[in-house]
Homo-oligomer: A and B are copies of this chain.
Amino acid sequence: MEKTGIHKKLMEVGTQLFAERGVNGVSIRELSLAAGTSISMISYHFGSKEGLYSAVLQEQFACFAEIHEIRRQISDPVEMIESYLRWTFQRHRNNPHLLRFYTSELTNPTAFFETLVAPVIDEVIVIMAEAVAQGQQQGKFRGDVDPANAALALAGMVNYFFLSLQATKKLISQSPEQDESLVRQYLEIFIRGIGV
């Protein structure tokens, strides 16, 4: 295997095993065996097991930065909220591992939480709180709504749908074809919820 091939394979194997068992639940030996390479190759490419974990974590959360581009393109607060919902559905649909790293770091933070996870989650909440505040200034949303609490409630609605997928199979249609309908349902609950 060439160098870039080994790097890619270690990222794949690391993503899978860390998602299932966390950074402490996987040994560097298991990682090297699963990737068909040696422990020294992990050291060479990532420094250590923790180095590989932090590379995987950065890759998992890289998609959060897209919120800046969405914000640049959209000025209307209601459209911004709609785009946030659609983008969040897409993030989870495109990456079935994201919620595992997300909930694992939030409930049992590693040494990388404060630098790699909390800042990107905070950025999204801050930008969505700004959209709510902007809608308040425009007289579209009630002035007594707390923008940060409302942004967190919005994030909760959509992220929880994915978090609870395994439990709600019998209760709710989970087909990706329903996503656009769910975006509209959440949007309507939220916009009416904070509306004047």
CB of A130, distance to nearest CB on chain B (Å): 12
Stretch at the interface among A3-11, A71-79, A187-195: A187-195
Contact A160 B156 (CB under 8 A): yes
**A112 interface hit (Cβ, 8 Å):** no
List, in ascending order, chain B residues with CB within 8 A of A160's CB.
Answer: 152-153, 155-157, 159-160
Our pick among B19, B25, B117 for the contact of A25 (Cβ within 8 Å) is B25
Which residue of B is nearest A187, CB measured?
A: B193
List, in ascending order, chain B residues with CB within 8 A of A87's CB.
Answer: none
Contact B104 A107 (CB under 8 A): yes
**A34 interface hit (Cβ, 8 Å):** no
The 13 sampled A-B contact pairs (Cβ below 8 Å) are A21-B108, A22-B22, A106-B166, A107-B163, A107-B166, A118-B167, A122-B167, A122-B168, A122-B171, A146-B185, A152-B157, A160-B160, A163-B163
